[in-house]
Amino acid sequence: MKEMNKAIFLDKDGTLVDGSGYPEIIPADDLMKERVVRGLIKLKNQGFKLIIVSNQSWVSKGRLTKNDVENIFKSLINKLKKFEIEIDDYFYCPHKREENCNCKKPSTGMILEAVKKHNLDLSCSYMIGDSDDDILMAKKLNLKTVLVTTGLGNNFLGIGADYVVEDINHFAEII
């Protein structure tokens, strides 16, 4: 039987990249390097796969094309590679909430797709995000949850995350 992998699921906007101008400024690839790089390196060295899961409803809203979104992810991944951080995969939902898809957070479709593709063991995996949808999605799958107070995180302190930390660097220090 093939050994299962553990993963860190990462929200993108407000968790990895600066989302402070949202929604007027669509977050893109402005890496918050001083808040994430050290932690991602440590998590990767602990054997976690790093997988980004992100709602990108800007596609359905007509503000970005799928090609735009793909280019943003590729740019972010290339920025992380400069710090020798390998992102194992990324998934995004292009739909609006009204479309009732199974991939838009807090639905679990993106994570379930990643589980199949990467043979993941959710019992030893974590979701790191800055919103209630990130935490609610993870709780549906019994993932350990980490709310970072970057981005929108300060608005959701009562959501019941397993960990509430300043940023990814701080989380990597405690596990």
Q: In the annotation, is 18 catalytic? A: no
For this structure, is 13 an active site residue?
yes
Among residues 9, 24, 17, the alpha carbon closest in space to that of 150 is found at 17
Q: Contact, 10 vs 48, CB < 8 A?
A: no
CA-based nearest residue to 162, from 131, 117, 128: 128
State the alpha helices, DSSP H only, in the chain. 33-45, 66-81, 109-118, 132-140, 168-174
Instruction: Look up residue 155 and give its DSSP letter.
Output: G
Token pair of 116, please? 């199949």
Q: Which residues contact residue 152 at a Cβ distance below 8 angstroms, ignoring those fewer than 6 apart?
A: 14, 19, 22, 130, 131
Would you give the distance in Å from CA 153 to the centre of its chain?
13
**HSE (side-chain half, CA atoms, 13 Å) at 89:** 18
What is the gyration radius of the CA atoms in the chain, in angstroms?
Answer: 15
Please identify every residue annotated as catalytic.
11, 13
